[in-house]
Amino acid sequence: MKKIGIIGGGNWGTALAVVLAKQGHAVKLWAYEKEVVESINRIHENCLFLESYEIPENVVATDSIETAVQGAEIVIGVMPSHHARRLYTQIIPLLRDGTVFVSATKGIEEDSLERMSQVFAAVAQGRAGVRFAALSGPTFAREIARGDPAAVVIASQHAEAAEMVQKEFSSRQLRLYRNSDLVGVELGGSVKNVIAIAAGVCDGLGLGSNSIAALITRGLAEMTRLVVASGGKRETMAGLAGLGDLVLTCTGSLSRNRTVGTELGQGKKLAEIMSGTRMVAEGVRTTQATLSLARKMQVEMPIVEQMHALLYEDRTPMQAIHQLMDRSLKPE
């Protein structure tokens, strides 16, 4: 049994708390929203983000970051990417040497274009006693909380940290695979959200399976180019953190990013869509960061370019599709 602190009381953080608590770990869950803390501790349910799923009694919710991470052997960050640097600044000084910090955030920081491991390293300033790992792969929070079997990837430059997380998190419900490619795992988990918005646009327009299949395939090619240019491994994109997560997020009805795209395809404006939900669709912000990173790395990403134009430049969905289909012909 391990003491585990989870920072982030949304649906994914809560689902992780459920599955880890069922394995016997002592879990403290930090949530920003006081109603989340109260409902978990009072009725063992996250009434705001994961209603109707029972949370084990060995999950204790708190609104104190210090309480959540005190004495923890593993700390999991499940915050939106645009809050990561601020929260890392609060968390890192509280961590004891030997702690493994697991990032379950899928995003790229907009201003710095840094992955979460890079943001963490910048805040930690070379502190050697805390080891970083990234958790990614095809997972919907509600299915994890329900107990459906799933497989994910844990990536770290510290082999012993990845092995420890793999051992402590794995069960008959959740299977972890180790990977040393932080770049590929983090970028794959981030950029697939942009492609998922595009998949939702196709759905909102009423387009069929041909269009979705083409989008997923060419989206994977774009992700792979960016990963390789950034120092990651091509083969990572053929695994759970690449193709696996991409297929799930582009086709699953529980995908927040796909849902945003569907509503865009139906003619709604982004501001209207975002004002109507509490959930964070990371792909909206990640689109800007991904395009900036692609230009920095001199990587061609036409789907990402068109999604940026659709989200931020008032291009219509059909105009974006025509731009993609009218591009010059080339070998695959």
Q: How far, in Å, are 41, 272, 315 from residue 276 at the CA level?
A: 27, 7, 22
Give the sheet arrangement for strand 100-103, strand by strand.
59-62, 26-30, 3-7, 74-77, 100-103, 131-136, 150-155, 174-179
Check if the beta carbon of residue 258 is closer than 8 Å to that of residue 200.
yes
Half-sphere exposure of 77 (CA within 13 A, CB side): 30
Q: How far apart are CA 135 and CA 14, in angstroms?
A: 15
92/166 Cα distance (integer angstroms): 22
Question: 192 an active-site residue?
Answer: yes
DSSP 50: B
Candidates 265, 275, 301; CA nearest to 286 is: 301
Point out the catalytic residue in the list 2, 22, 106, 192: 192
Catalytic positions, please? 192
